[in-house]
Amino acid sequence: MLNVVCFRFQHYNENTYLAFDSTRECVVIDPGCYSEAEKSELLDYIQSKDLKLTAVLNTHCHIDHVFGNAFLMKHFSVPLHLPEGELRFLEAMPQFALRFGFQFEQAPKEYCFLKEGNQIRFGKSVLEIISTPGHSPDSMSFFSNEENLVFGGDALFRNRIGRVDLPGGNYETLCNSIKTKLFALGDDVTVFSGHGVSTNIGYEKDTSRFICWMKN
Ligand SMILES: [Zn+2]
Q: Ligand 1 centre and the CA of 196: distance in Å?
A: 13
Q: Ligand 1 centre and the CA of 105: distance in Å?
A: 19
Give CA–CA dist 196/140, Å, rounded: 18
DSSP H/E element including 151: strand 149-153
**pLDDT score recorded for residue 216:** 40
**pLDDT score recorded for residue 108:** 86
Q: Ligand 1 centre and the CA of 90: distance in Å?
A: 12
Q: Ligand 1 centre and the CA of 153: distance in Å?
A: 7
Q: Ligand 1 centre and the CA of 23: distance in Å?
A: 31
CA distance readout (Å), 62 to 108, 182, 213: 17, 20, 27
| DSSP classification of residue 182 | I
**pLDDT score recorded for residue 210:** 58
**pLDDT score recorded for residue 213:** 53
Angle (CA) 195-184-61 rounded to 5° is: 35
Whole-model pTM over 0.75: yes
Q: Ligand 1 centre and the CA of 101: distance in Å?
A: 18
* Domains observed in the chain: 3-215 (3.60.15.10)
Q: Ligand 1 centre and the CA of 19: distance in Å?
A: 20
**pLDDT score recorded for residue 207:** 80
DSSP H/E element including 17: strand 14-20
In tens digits, the chain (216 residues) has pLDDT values of 999 999 999 989 999 999 999 999 999 999 999 999 999 999 999 999 999 999 999 999 999 999 999 999 999 999 999 999 999 999 999 999 999 999 999 888 989 999 999 999 999 999 999 999 999 999 999 999 999 999 999 999 999 999 999 999 999 999 999 999 999 999 999 999 999 999 999 999 988 655 445 544
Q: Ligand 1 centre and the CA of 62: distance in Å?
A: 5
Q: Ligand 1 centre and the CA of 163: distance in Å?
A: 8
The gap from C-alpha 77 to its chain's centroid, in whole angstroms, comes to 20
**pLDDT score recorded for residue 209:** 57
CA distance readout (Å), 28 to 53, 56, 104: 8, 5, 19
